[in-house]
Amino acid sequence: MTHREFEGWDEYNRRLTAATSTGNPYWAQLPQSERVMLDEGGKLFFTGKLCMREHISPRDANRCCTQCNVINMRAFYDRRANVV
Ligand SMILES: [Zn+2]
């Protein structure tokens, strides 16, 4: 892994506090933005900001919240199960 440009202590602490509040402090080690994630070739980044459904969760390459992805996927399979 190459050295990542540092976001600054204020920003890092904000993300760390957000990550810790969810019980997942290691999320703060993810890239802080989509741009940094793309630079590093990773698949997830963590902004520490709330998503549309107010989750604090890493986001994927589509900028979608990973917890929302689980909800959407479950809804998709539930719909399909009801159709068949
Ligand atoms: Zn979400």
> What percent of the chain clears pLDDT 90, i.e. is strictly above it?
90
76 close to 64: Cβ distance less than 8 angstroms: no
For the segment 1-19, what is each residue's pLDDT rounded down to a tens digit? Answer: 567 889 999 999 999 999 9
> Two tokens at 51?
């998503």
Q: Can you give the pLDDT at residue 1?
A: 53
pTM for this predicted structure: 0.88
How far apart are the CA of 50 and the centre of ligand 1, in A?
7
Q: Residue 3: what pLDDT?
A: 78
Q: How far is the CA of 81 from the centre of ligand 1 (A)?
A: 23
> Rounded CA gap, 70 and 82, in Å?
18
pLDDT band at 55 (very low <50, low <70, confident <90, very high): very high
Cα 13 from Cα 65, distance rounded (Å): 21
How many angstroms separate the alpha carbon of residue 51 from the centre of ligand 1? 5
